[in-house]
Amino acid sequence: MPEAITGQETARGRRPMRELIGRMRTKDPSVTEEVYLTELVRCQECEQTVPIGIEVVTVKRDKNFRKVLRHGYYCRAHGHDYETDVQNRPMRPPKKRTDKN
């Protein structure tokens, strides 16, 4: 099964890196895909272990909890679509809050 290599220390003697690149919305407003840049990933497509790859986590959020629906791991070549989609999305301005006092 494709997976990130976790529980191991890297050659530098520390935990593997995992950096959030961005989030993508899906058709369901409570479900998002979080895209991470991750060290030591085994790609689902080509089944090669690469030093830096893309991790895609599909998450469902409610008010009080966060449930992981699916993990996907890709090398940079196969995860290129996720990486460019997240980086090229226009920033939405935050919703204006209307507090009624």
pTM over 0.85? The answer is no
Asked whether residue 1 is assigned to any structural domain, the reply reads: no
pLDDT for the residue 70: 92
Residue 41's domain comprises 18-88
Asked whether residue 38 is assigned to any structural domain, the reply reads: yes
- Domain total in the chain: 1
63, pLDDT greater than 80: yes
Q: What angle do CA 42, 74, 83 make, to 5 degrees?
A: 150
| 44-68 average pLDDT score | 90
Element (H, E) at 88: helix 80-88
